[in-house]
Amino acid sequence: MLTKPRRAAMQEVNSSSMSDIAFLLLVFFLVTTTISLDKGISLILPAEGNELEVNKNNIVNVLINDRGKVLLDDQPTQIKDIKRKAIDRIKANKKVIFSVLTNKRTKYKSYIEVLDQLKQAGATKISIANPPN
């Protein structure tokens, strides 16, 4: 009579160290992965306590209200036109300082758009004034 050969009993894979291996892989990938950071707007801030007397003729006031309307030296100006006007002011006076003043309810988007226009115009001296209480 023919009998089937017995198969050897299956050996189990030792899984007691699987959690250790998974943890080590997780730590490895967390350490080696680079995280992209937002660049933001690069501004160089002066040291605390440094106050200089500035000639009033060198200051250009940029006022932004809560509806996103801009006054550039008391002249209503579209945000898209700020760059062109700022370039003209910089050409006329290299020491010009743009003083940006917002309202408490000014939208952040409008504020950033104005700063972007000034930076694109090549303005290196931008004063960010505190809104009145």
Per residue in 79-108, pLDDT tens? Answer: 999 999 999 999 999 989 999 999 888 898
Q: Give a yes or no: residue 27 inside a domain.
A: no
Position 118 scores a pLDDT of 93
Give the H/E segment covering residue 63.
strand 59-64
Q: What's the domain range around 82?
A: 58-128
Are 65 and 76 within 8 A, CB to CB? Answer: no
Are 122 and 94 within 8 A, CB to CB? Answer: no
| pTM as predicted | 0.63
Q: Give a yes or no: residue 78 inside a domain.
A: yes
Once rounded to an integer, what is the mean pLDDT over residues 55-84? 91
DSSP state of 66: T
What CATH number did the domain enclosing 108 receive?
A: 3.30.420.270
Q: Give a yes or no: residue 41 inside a domain.
A: no
Task: Say whether pLDDT at 5 is over 80.
Answer: no
Domain count, the chain: 1
Position 10 scores a pLDDT of 72
Q: Give a yes or no: residue 48 inside a domain.
A: no
Q: Give a yes or no: residue 10 inside a domain.
A: no
Q: Give a yes or no: residue 62 inside a domain.
A: yes
Q: Give a yes or no: residue 17 inside a domain.
A: no
Are 52 and 89 within 8 A, CB to CB? Answer: no
